Amino acid sequence: MTFMRLLRSTIYLVLHVLSSSYAADPPVQSNASGMVEFEPYKPAESYKCGQFIESSINDPAMRLFHRFNNVFIKLLSQPFPHEKLLTSEALLGKPEAWRSSLEQNNQEWIEFEKYWLAVCAAIVLLPSVFTVTYLLYRCCLCCCRASKKARYTDKRFDRCQRLILKGVLAVFVLVNVFAAVVLLINTQYAQYSIEELPTRLHYCVNDFSVYKIETNERIRKLLRDDFQVLNATLIRNFNNAGANVVSNFKKSSGLTVVDELLYKTRKADPIRRELLDISKDLKQLYSSKAVLSKRFAKLKESEDALDKCRLASNPVLNNSAVQDSAEILPEGSAETIQQIIDLNMEQKFSQLIAQMDQIESSIQAFVDTRQEDAVERLKLLEATLFTLYENISTAIKSIDLRFLDDIVDPMMQNREKFRNYVQYSWIISLIITGIFVFIALSFLLGLFYGCCGRRPSYHDDDCCVRSTGGKFYSCEIWMGLAFMTFFAVITAVLLFVGANASSLICLPVEDPLSRPDMLSFLDRIVEVYGLSEDAKSPLSQNHHIPQIFNAKHRPVDIIKGCKRGATFYTIFGMDKKFQLLNQGGPKDEYDGLNESIKRLMAGDAMQLNNMPNFYTSDVETAVQRLGEINVPTINKAGIDELRSWTSHFDVDPLLHQLRKITAEKSTVAMPEVDVAIAYLEALKPDAQVLLTQMKDITTRLEKLGLDLESMQLNATDVASQLQHTSSLLASGQLSDKMYGSANQVVVDQLVANIDKYAQHVNHSMMTEISSCVPISNIAENTRAAVCDYTLDPFNGVWMAMAISLLLMLPIIMLSTSLMRLYARIHPFPKYIINEPSNEATFATDTIYGPGLGDQRRPPKPSSSTPYTPVSNYANNYGYQEFYPSPYGHNNRGN
C-alpha cells in the first residue's frame, strides 16, 4: 500500500480517540481555524564554502581586466579531443600512459594546442629577434657615425618630429605603467589566493557532508516530525468535532449574536469586581502619595542651596503641586454594572444553550465510537512513514564522501610546506615584478624630463634638461634588452599553463552545457573511476567512490535537471521506489474513502431536532433594559494625570544631578546638597514602591476602560438579529440545511489538513529536500576559489607581462629616436656682448652700496639696448650684472 493511499485513508477514517503517545511528542502548531501549520526547517550548521567571498576585497578594475583575459582565452580555446589524446590509463594518472600519449599522439597534441603554441612562440621570438636586430642596428649606427662628423644642433623639422614622437611615446609609456601596476596587484592576489586555496577547498569539501546531514534531517522532519504535528492537529480537531460543528452552525444561522450578547454580559461580574478593587487601590495610592509628599516637603530646608544649584524647578522638589487626579471612576459605576448582572441573560437563553450543548455532546459521542479503526490506520501509517524514512536515510548515509577527503587531506596536512613554497615563489615574482615596475617608471621619468626639461646648451647646464631624459632612456633600453628574452620565456610558460587550466577547468564549469567535449570527458571520468553502476572498476571500492550514475542518469542529465530547478529525488527517479509524490491511486479505493466520509459525520445522532423559538418576551424585555443601561466609561484624562506623577516621585534623575554637581565642585563644601542626597536616598525605597503602584493601577485602568467599551450595546440591532435568527431556526427544513452545511465544513477542514500535508510533502520533495541549490552553490564557490581568486590573478600576471613586453618594443624604438633629438642644442646661438658705459667699472662688479666711497652702481641700460630682467635661475647659475642675456634670444626653448 502506497504512502498516499495510506495517508488519504487515514484522513477520512481517522477518529477522535487516539493514544496519548501519538500526540505528546512534538509541539503542535495550528492556527485559530484548526488548520495545521508546519514550521520551516532551521539548519543546525551553515555552509562555509563561500565565506571567503564575503570577506574578499571588491576590485572592479581587476574584475574587468580578468574578464578581458577570459574572453581572450575563450577565443583561442578549442574543443578537447580527449578520446584521441588520453587513454583510460592516462585518466587514472599513470605516468607511463601520459608519456606514451605525448610520444604517439604528438601531432594531435600540437593540433589541439596550436593557437597557444603560436602565441607562446610569438611572445618568445618577437623579443629575441628584436633584441638581435636592435643590437645590429646600434652597431651599424655607431659605424656610420664614426665616419661622419656628429651633428649637435636641430635640423629644420626636428622640433615637429620631437613633439610627435613624445606624444606617441606617452601613450605607450602610460599603458606600460598600467601593465606594471596590474602585474604587481595580480602578483599579490595570486600569492594570497594560492596560500589559502587548500583551506578553501577543505571548507567546500566539508560542505558536502553538511549537505548530506541536512538532507537527512529534512527527511526526518518531513516524515516524522511534521506528521506528528498533523497527527496532533487531527486529534485536536476530532476532540472538538462537536464544538466545531456547532460553531459553524451558529455562524451560518446567525446564532453568534447570542454568543456575543452572553459574552458581554458574562464579563459584567469580573468587571464589577475589578471596579471595586481599583477604587480601593486608588484610595490607598492617594494616601501613600500624600504621606510621601509631606516627606519630600522637608527638602525645603535646603531650598536656598538647591536654588544655587539651579534645581529648584525639578519636579521632585515641586511634588507639592501634585494634586489627586480627577475622578477616574464615575460615581455608581459598580452599581450600574450590577444592573447588567441582575438581568441574568444566561438564564433567559438556558434552553437554547442546553440544546446546543446536547447537540455538541451527541456529535462528539457519535465520533468517539469509531476510534478503533482510526488507531489501527494511524499506527499503520506511522509504521509506513517510519520505514520510508529509514530507507531514505540509509540511502543517504550510503553515499560515501571519503574520496573527496582523500583529495583534500594531503593538501591540508602539507599546508605549511605548501605555503613555504608559495612564499619562495612569491619572492621571485616580486623581483621580476620589481624589474618590470622599475623599467616602466624609468621610461616614465625619461618622458617627463623630455617634456618638462630645458634644451641642453652645454653651458652651465644642470640635470633639468632633456638630455637627462635621454640618459634614462638609454639605461632602460639596455636593461630591457638584457631581460626581455628571459621574461618572454617566463611569460610563455605561465601563459601555456594558465590558459590551458582556464580552458579545461574554469570555462566548462562556468557554462557546462556549452562544452559538449568536456561533458563527454566527464562521462569518461565517471566510467573510469567507477562512479557509474554499470562500471566495473576497483577504484569505487579502493577509494570509497559512490556509484551514483547509471545509463539513464548521466552527468549531463544532472546538470540539465538542476538548471530547471529539479531536486535529486526527482532527477534520479527515486519516487518509483519510495512513492512520496502525489501520483494518485485506484478508483475503488477513492470510492471507499468517500463512503467513509459519509459514515464519519452521518447517522441518526447527527440529525438536528426541531428548535423552539428562543426569542421570548422575557428575552425581548431583557434586551431592551440592557440597551437602556448606560455603561460607565473611564476618565482618560485622569489616567494621563496619574501617569504624570512618575516624574514627581522618581528620585534617580535628581540624585544623578546632585552627585554631578558635587563632583564638579569637589573643592567647595556644599553641606546642604549632601544632606539632600542622603535624605533622597532614604526616600528612594518608598518612592519606588509608590511608582510601582502607579504603573500597576494605570495598566489596570487602561484594560478596564477597554472592557467597558466592549460592553457597549446597540439594543435595537441585537433585538432585530435575535428575532430574525429565532424565526429562521423555527423552520426545520432551513435549519437542517444549515446544520448539514456546518457538518460539511468540519469534514472539509479535516480533508484540507491532510491535503495540506500531502502538498507539503510534494512541495518539499520537489523543491527543498535534495535540492540542487546547495550543491550548485558549493560548486560555484569552489569554482570561484580555484578560478576567480586563483587562476584569474595567475592569468593576470602573464597577461600583464605580455602586454609590457609587447609595449617595450615600440617604446625602445621611439626612445632611441628621442635620445638623439633630446641631445641637440639650438642651431643658431647668438652671443651679445654688453659693454659697460663706464670704463672704470668691471662688468662683473656686483657689490655696490652705501658707504663704499667712489664705487658706483652699475649703469642702467640705454633705451636702445634690449633688456631682460634677471630671473632667479640666472642669479644662481648665470650672469649677475644688470645686463641683457648674452644670447640674442632665449635659446633654451624648443
pLDDT at 16 exceeding the cut of 60: no
**pLDDT tens column, 180-197:** 999 999 999 998 988 888
Name residues whose C-beta falls within 8 Å of residue 216's C-beta, 6 or more positions apart in sequence. 393, 396, 397
Q: How confident is the model at residue 268 (pLDDT cuts 50, 70, 90)?
A: confident
Alpha helix (H) ranges present in 629-666? 636-643, 646-649, 652-664
Whole-number pLDDT of residue 738: 67
Whole-number pLDDT of residue 251: 80
Q: Kindly state the average pLDDT of the residues 740-761.
A: 76
Q: How confident is the model at residue 73 (pLDDT cuts 50, 70, 90)?
A: very high
Whole-number pLDDT of residue 331: 75
Q: For residues 37 and 226, give the distance between their C-alpha atoms in angstroms, rounded to a whole number.
A: 9
Q: Kindly state the average pLDDT of the residues 276-293.
A: 83
**pLDDT tens column, 392-424:** 888 888 887 777 777 777 777 777 888 888 888
What is the chain's mean pLDDT, rounded?
75
**pLDDT tens column, 620-668:** 788 888 877 888 888 888 788 777 777 777 777 777 777 777 777 665 6
Task: Tell me which of 116-125, 167-176, 200-209, 843-852 is least confident.
Answer: 843-852
Whole-number pLDDT of residue 550: 65
Q: What is the DSSP letter of 776?
A: H
Whole-number pLDDT of residue 7: 38
User: Which of 487-496, 518-527, 598-607 ranks highest by mean pLDDT?
Assistant: 487-496
Q: Check residues 18 and 394 and name the one with the higher pLDDT.
A: 394
**pLDDT tens column, 551-562:** 667 888 888 888
Q: How confident is the model at residue 587 (pLDDT cuts 50, 70, 90)?
A: very low
**pLDDT tens column, 149-165:** 656 666 666 677 778 88
| Percentage of the chain exceeding pLDDT 70 | 72
Q: How confident is the model at residue 453 (pLDDT cuts 50, 70, 90)?
A: low
| Percentage of the chain exceeding pLDDT 90 | 16
**pLDDT tens column, 858-889:** 555 554 444 444 445 444 444 444 444 444 44
Tally Cβ neighbours within 10 Å of residue 840.
Answer: 9
Name residues whose C-beta falls within 8 Å of residue 607's C-beta, 6 or more positions apart in sequence. 736
DSSP letters, 827-880, are: S---B-----SSTTS-TT-----TT-TT--PPPPPPTTS---PPPHHHHHHS--
Grid cell in block for residue 685: 525605597
Specify whether the backbone of 883 is left (phi greater than 0), alpha (psi in -120 to 50) or beta. Answer: beta
**pLDDT tens column, 494-522:** 999 999 999 999 999 888 888 888 888 88
Q: For residues 466 and 474, give the distance between their C-alpha atoms in angstroms, rounded to a whole number.
A: 13
Q: Kindly state the average pLDDT of the residues 767-786.
A: 91
pLDDT at 452 exceeding the cut of 60: yes
pLDDT at 371 exceeding the cut of 80: no
Q: Which candidate, 205, 193, 202, places its Cα nearest to that of 784?
A: 193
Distance of CA 298 to the CA centre of its chain: 61
pTM: 0.69
Q: For residues 435 and 224, give the distance between their C-alpha atoms in angstroms, rounded to a whole number.
A: 68
Q: Which candidate, 752, 728, 735, 749, places its Cα nearest to that of 249?
A: 735
Grid cell in block for residue 348: 433567559
Q: Check residues 674 and 764 and name the one with the higher pLDDT.
A: 764
Q: For residues 849 and 47, give the distance between their C-alpha atoms in angstroms, rounded to a whole number.
A: 88
Whole-number pLDDT of residue 157: 66
Q: Kindly state the average pLDDT of the residues 457-473.
A: 68
Task: Tell me which of 366-380, 672-686, 752-766 is least confident.
Answer: 366-380
Q: Check residues 8 and 343 and name the one with the higher pLDDT.
A: 343
Rounded to the nearest 5 degrees, what angle is found at the Cα of 770, between the Cα atoms of 769 and 771?
A: 90
Q: Which candidate, 387, 311, 279, places its Cα nearest to that of 6?
A: 387
Tally Cβ neighbours within 10 Å of residue 322.
Answer: 19
Q: Kindly state the average pLDDT of the residues 248-259.
A: 79
Whole-number pLDDT of residue 415: 76
How is the chain split into domains, by residue range? 8-88+109-141+172-239+370-516+773-825, 240-369+611-764, 829-894
Angstrom distances, CA of residue 104 to CA of 56, 87, 113: 46, 12, 16
pLDDT at 391 exceeding the cut of 60: yes
**pLDDT tens column, 521-553:** 888 888 777 666 555 555 544 444 556 666 667
Whole-number pLDDT of residue 739: 67
Burial class (CB in 10 A: 0-12, 13-18, 19+), 679: middle
Angstrom distances, CA of residue 351 to CA of 618, 633, 812: 13, 33, 113
pLDDT at 460 exceeding the cut of 80: no
pLDDT at 24 exceeding the cut of 70: no
Q: Kindly state the average pLDDT of the residues 817-845.
A: 57
